[in-house]
Chains A and B, each alone.
Chain A
Amino acid sequence: MYTASAGSKESSDCLITVRTAENTKVEVTSIVDPLYHDQIVTLINQILKSYDAPRVHIFCEDRGALDYTIKARLKTALERLGNHAE
């Protein structure tokens, strides 16, 4: 099992941890959970689909990150996971 992460828990950032898994699963906790939880999950799923990512468990701890930050952190974490697996 491989794990990688990217980002931080600073304001306007998110910490994304990805782990190889048998099935893809996305979990999100957010300081703006009621408003943006579903939107963040949808965004992550969109990126996973476009990235042709392997099956992974993704855990996103959001601190008010905008979409561009979530995309960037997720892509970084996936690339780091790929580097671990090589």
Chain B
Amino acid sequence: MPNKSYLFISGNKPANIQNADIFDADAVIFDVEDAVAPDEKDAARQLIRHYLSDLYPKDINVYVRINGVDSVWFDVDFASLDKAAINGIILPKATDASISACEQKLNKTKKDWDVIALIESPRGLTEATTIAARPVVKALMFGAEDYSLAMNIDRQFADMALNHARNTVALSAKAYGKEAIDTPYPDMRDQTCFEEETKTARKMGFTGKACIHPAHVPFINKTFFPTDDELVWAEKIITAAEKHPNEGVFALDGKMIDEPIIAHAKAILAEANQDE
């Protein structure tokens, strides 16, 4: 099942790294890109490598956001994770060309990491579908901050532009059965807007959301988990379907129930059961 919450943790802060698995996030992303200054990237690589070797986090998926393909650090970031038992990497500033280069590197080094493509540029957005189609890509993640910068728009007030981008990322990911991860919400002081953005992400079809503060994890987990109403509805559909085993379509409460609806109900129950 998709990860609901992805928590970014700076790769150069031991106090945060060693607490990665206490915040109840489904996945943690150790960051050696934007969260670490250029002069400290060597330190962050060593810290992550030794943490993963000596104290691997429990019951959580582990990703590392490495530096971009075009950066001077891409190759050394890759090499530093050589023996790390991570689930995958986040590739920033993803374009089809950069994903292709990353894929070649993975094939050459025989690594079976998942790649989460961070869509945070206009070009990345226009290529989102092509990127999602690549087998090595597990998910698309939207990055609103860099995208807003590239578009010269104000992240806080550009709902129309950003929602178009978010919709595109969710649609492109879903077109190829990949996870769609919404952008982190940056303002810790504005819980109301954070919750609204998270609920909107679910309605858009995102399968999860990233965050940069542990306090956001619980609400993300709750939002992307089936609601009580959804669970009741799903059980009702399955129960009714079992009573109509040989019918392709039947009526329930005045509504037509056919295979896609039954499949949706099954998916909801599967998602709920996965987390128990």
Contact = CB atoms under 8 A, between A and B. Distances in A.
B135 interface: no
A72 B44 CA distance: 9
Interface in B94-129: none
Contacts of B18: 12, 66, 68-69
Interface stretch (A25-33, A34-42, A48-56, A75-83): A75-83
B31 to A, nearest CB: 16
A68 B53 CA distance: 8
Interface core residue of B15, B43, B49, B54 (most chain A CB under 10 Å): B43
A69 B50 contact: yes
Interface residues on B, range: 10 to 19
Contacts of A80: 42
A13 B13 CA distance: 8
Contact of B46 (A12, A65, A66, A72): A72
Given A73-B43, A76-B42, A76-B43, A68 B15 contact: no
A7 B15 contact: no
B153 to A, nearest CB: 35
A69 B42 contact: no
Interface string A57-77: 000000001111101110110
Which 8 pairs from chain A and chain B are nearest by CB? A12-B15, A72-B46, A68-B54, A68-B50, A72-B50, A72-B47, A69-B14, A76-B43
Interface of B: 13-15, 18, 42-43, 46-47, 49-51, 53-55
Interface of A: 6-7, 10-13, 65-69, 71-73, 75-76, 79-80
